[in-house]
Structure 1
Amino acid sequence: MNNIFTNEKIRPELRAGLKKIHFSQPTKVQEEVIPVLLERKNVVVQAVTGSGKTHAFLVPILNEIDEKLEYPQAILTAPSRELSEQLYQVARQLRDAASLDISIAHFAGGSDRERQMKKINNRNPQVIIATPGRLHDFVEKKILFLDHVQNFVIDEADMTLDMGFLADIDFIAQRLPKTVTFAAFSATIPVKLSNFLRKYMSQPEQIVIDNPAVISPTIKNDLIDIGGKNRKRILYQLLTMGQPYLALVFANTKQTVDELTKFLQEQGLRVAKIHGGITERERKRTVREINDGQYQYVVATDLAARGLDIDGVSLVVNYEIPRDLEFVVHRVGRTGRNGLSGHAVTLIRAEEMNRIAGLEKMGIHFDFVEIKNDELVPRKHYHSRNERSSDSYTVDNKVNGYVKKAKKKRKPGYKKKIKRVIQQDKAQKNKIEQRHKIRKAKQQRKRKRDNNS
């Protein structure tokens, strides 16, 4: 196959720019996607982070911009400030390397709205990179006009769905010209997302990029069954027995991140935290301090950590398994970069083994280990792999069984197991309920802001 980066359909300036930033051999996603977008065909791409998908859509989009026409010609959305900022910086790098006179603007929630509006007044952007909420705001207030947009890209579409932004995307998409080319990039394509995309794309090209090396071979990926031990204590032991250069601990909620940060600080560790509840200024300061080497330990949520560029992570700890198993790939991929060795450790209890089976089906391999004399040593897990297909994660029926048996005499520790399973079942349901409440509250606050403005 000919190298797509040297294809004559790509402007000479862009070809030179790609060479300047050392893009000589395209990745699989770039080989397959760039020709489709150059032909102005709608496309849905399933590819994981790190596959090179960003340049797969940036190259054809910048290739099509008419520098003489000073109005928005392309819109790229990303679901968080961090991801949109990262996309903005990559787009600027390619534009500058190609010496193109293209106006690229970044609009994101949590940033100075007035300053962003002044930028529009100074020069109408030709490429807009934005979070869905801020884009919705600017279009609704007639600050931005979309009459001449030719390309619309939804990056990290599954996360856009998870964060409740599809309504904003829908609002934007309805106001685009009928001739616009749609492209969606996502690590996974849930049914709800697929149905939404079908609304705007008639028979799009479907491109699925398999990534056989789900976890880099430079990463040692360990699994610890903590049994009845205190999870926080095990975490502290892991973080201190090997003195990692930089350890990144992942938890599922802001509350857990706060609790872990406080606990580890009380043990005398200097710990930074990153989650959606901290201000943008605090977030930027924290990341700067981490990269300056002021912290050895960072506790974060998945959504807050996506898009943040933190160098030198030598250890990743999955304090708990994420609800979306795909996030394990993103978490573990934070270590072992640039050919360096890395280490990831996942903490589980026996009733979570079926989730590990799900991860193994995705191609993620774990080594069972245990802590002995402040060292991680291999162990043979007492649960056979065949037993992992049990429905232990679907807890309701199991809870009923435990409750019925609770009145019988059991061995010591059995009642604790019953309690723990019931508590976990309640906690899972509470998390789901809380998530719905948060989304509803966000929508109500947004409607209130819109009514007041």
Structure 2
Amino acid sequence: MNNIFKDEQLKPAIRTGLTKIDFTEPTKVQEKVIPILLAHKNAVVQAVTGSGKTHSFLIPVLNDIASETHYTQAILTAPSRELAEQLYQVARQLRDAANLQISIANLVGGSDRERQLKKLNNQKPQVVIATPGRLHDFVEKKILYLDYVKDLIIDEADMTLDMGFLSDIDFIIQRLPKNTTLAAFSATIPVKLSNFLRKYMAKPEQIVIDNPLVISPTVKNDLIDIGSKSRKRLLYQLLTMGQPYLALIFANTKQNVDELTQYLQEEGLKVAKIHGGITERERKRTLREVENGQYQYVVATDLAARGLDIDGVSLVVNYEIPRNLEFVVHRIGRTGRNKMTGHAVTLIREEEMTRITSLEQMGIHFDFVEIKNGELVLRKHYHRRDTVKFSSHTLDPNMKGFVKKTKKKRKPGYKKKIKRAIQQDKAQKNKIEQRHKMRKEKAQRKKRRDRK
């Protein structure tokens, strides 16, 4: 198979740029997506972070830009400012490596709007990377024009849906030229997202890359059942017994991050927090301080997992399991990078074990551990799924005989007859139990009336 990075459809400058940034062999998603977008076909791509999807759309998008014409020709959306910033930096890296004279703008919410306006007035960007809300704002107020847009890329489309931004995307698509190429990239394709995309893409190319939802072999992935213990107290114990180089603790909401940060600080730990509620200036300052080693502990929401690249994370703690189980992979993926060893610990209660089962079915292996004498030691869970014995309905002796007979080979219909008999027996006993219950309740009501 031909290497798409050397395909003559790509401009020589881009081919050179890819070599400069050590892109020699395409990933599976790049191999499939790049030719489709180069041919200006609509696409819906299901691929997770780490599969190489970002370059699978950046390469054809930058290849499509006419550098001599100064109007917006491509729009790339990301659901958070962190993800948009990450996308912006990757796009600039490829542009600079290829020495392309292309203007790229990063328009995100939570940042200085006036400053962005000034930049747009000084130079019209050929590529716009934006969060949906800010993009909607600038298009609605006719600050940004879509008349010549050739490509629209919706990155992290499932997260865009989760964060309530589909209406903003809808507003944008309705104002695009009819011949604009549309492509959506997503880790999962929920029904609501699929219906939305079908509204604008009649027969898109559907590309599904096998989900590499496996944890790096360099990561020790543990599970702790906290039982009746305090979740916060157990977390503090976990964080302080091994003295990690840098621990990243994930909670599901901004409020939980705030509460957890305050608790750990009150316990004497120097803790930083990162979530969508802090200002852009505060976020950048915090990240700079983390990179300089001023913090040993960082508490964050999933935006950090999907958009921030923090080096040196030796421990990841899932303080609580996210609603979207895919996020667990992104969280754990923050440690054990570049063939370094890493450690991930997930805290659960017994009623959450079904969610762990779902994660295991996705290819994630957990070791069940507990804290003993200041160490994590392996244990066997007393309610592990492979040892659980569900209480069965008690059959009377003659029914037990029927069950034993099912093990023997019989004529067709015999087993069905036995199953039907067992079901009838259960139904009959249920009726009797219900009658007893009703009589008991009736007697109790009568006693209460008599007391009155």
TM-score strictly above 0.5: yes
Inter-partner Cα distance in structure 2 for 1:191 and 1:389: 35
Equivalence for 2:76: 76
- Sort the Cα spacing of 1:119 and 1:388 in 2 relative to 1 into closer, same or farther, 3 A: farther
Give the CA deviation at 1:273. 0.8
- Is 1:280 the counterpart of 2:280? The answer is yes
- Structure 2 counterpart SS, 1:75: strand
Cα displacement (A) at 1:305: 4.2
Instruction: Please state whether the residue corresponding to 1:306 is helix, strand or coil.
Output: helix
- Kept in 1: contact 2:105–2:127 (CA 8 A): yes
**AA in 1 matched with 2:15:** R
CA contact (8 A) 2:75 2:153 kept: yes
Contact 1:353 1:388 in 2 (8 A): no
Matching residue of 1:354: 354
1:66 aligns with 2:58: no
1:116-144 Cα shifts (integer Å, max 9, x gaps): 11212212111110010111011000111
| Equivalent-residue separation in structure 2 for 1:182 and 1:167 (angstroms) | 16
Partner of 1:368: 368
1:191 matched to which residue of 2? 191
For residue 384 of structure 1, report the CA deviation from its aligned partner: 3.0
Aligned to 1:177: 177
Deviations 1:332-357 (A, max 9, x none): 00000111111000011111100100
| Equivalent pairs, count | 391
Identity, % of aligned positions? 79
The superposition leaves residues 290-339 of structure 1 with CA deviations (integer Å, 9 ceiling, x where unpaired) of 01100000111112442112110000000111111111001000000111
Q: 2:132 is matched with which residue?
A: 132
Query: Which residue pairs with 1:23 in the alignment?
Result: 23
Q: 1:382-393, aligned counterparts within 5 Å?
A: 382-386=382-386
Query: Residues 147, 320 of structure 1: CA spacing in aligned structure 2 closer, same or farther, 3 A cutoff?
Result: same
> SS of the residue aligned with 1:15?
helix
Deviations 1:218-268 (A, max 9, x none): 111100111111111110111011110000000111111111111111111
* 1:151 alignment counterpart: 151
Please say if residues 221 and 344 of structure 1, whose CA atoms lie closer than 8 Å, have aligned partners that are also in contact.
Answer: yes
Query: Following TM superposition, by how much is the alpha carbon of 1:212 offset from its aligned partner in structure 2, in angstroms?
Result: 3.6
Distance change (3 Å), C-alpha of 1:387 and 1:142: farther
TM-score of the superposed pair, with normalisation by structure 1: 0.84
Asked whether the equivalents of residues 213 and 362 of structure 2 are also in contact (C-alpha less than 8 Å), the reply is: no
Distance 2:84 2:363 in 1: 29
1:243 is aligned to: 243
1:254 corresponds in structure 2 to 254
For 1:225-236, what aligned pairs fall within 5 Å after superposition? Answer: 225-236=225-236
Map 1:22-101 onto structure 2 (within 5 A).
22-101=22-101
Per the alignment, residue 168 of structure 1 pairs with: 168
User: What is the alpha-carbon root mean square deviation over aligned residues?
Assistant: 1.4
Contact 1:252–1:301 under 8 Å retained in 2: yes
Structure 1 residue runs without a partner (length 5+): 391-404, 406-453
Contact 1:251 1:318 in 2 (8 A): yes
TM-score normalised per structure 2 = 0.85
Q: 2:148 corresponds to which letter in structure 1?
A: H
Paired residues of 2:305 and 2:330 also in contact (CA < 8 A): no
Contact 1:78 1:130 (8 Å CA) reproduced: yes
| CA–CA distance in structure 2, aligned partners of residues 238 and 244 of structure 1 | 10
Question: CA separation in 1, counterparts of 2:196 and 2:364?
Answer: 30
With over 3 angstroms needed to count, the CA separation of the structure-2 counterparts of 1:212 and 1:303, relative to structure 1, is: closer
- Is the Cα contact below 8 Å between 2:247 and 2:298 reproduced in 1? yes
Q: What amino acid is the match of 2:117?
A: M
Q: C-alpha distance in 2, partners of 1:260/1:317?
A: 12
Shift of 1:113: 1.3
